[in-house]
Amino acid sequence: MTGKIEGVIVLVLIILLLFGSKRIPELAKSIGASVKEVKNGFNGTSDDKTVAEADKKD
């Protein structure tokens, strides 16, 4: 169990050194947006439809 925890800690430190503390939140935000897009693609929904519907109401 401790071997896994040590591995995770080392991985986090390497990522922190490579990207820096300022860049990590930006990366997390872009990854989250990408995951949301993929989920919407699988479900067949997109934000474009809601925008088009809102334009029709006006």
Q: In this predicted model, what pLDDT tens digit does every residue of 1-58 receive, in sequence order? A: 677 889 999 998 998 898 888 888 888 899 999 999 999 888 876 555 554 555 555 4
- How many other C-beta atoms are found inside a 10 Å radius of the C-beta of residue 45? 11
pLDDT of residue 48: 58
Contact assessment for residue 46 and residue 40, using Cβ atoms and an 8 Å cutoff: yes
Looking at residue 33, the DSSP 8-state letter turns out to be: H
pLDDT of residue 16: 87
Residue given tokens 């990854």 in the structure block = 31
Residues in the chain: 58
pTM above 0.85, yes or no: no
pLDDT of residue 21: 82
For CA atoms 38, 42, 48, 54, the dihedral sign is negative
pLDDT of residue 47: 58
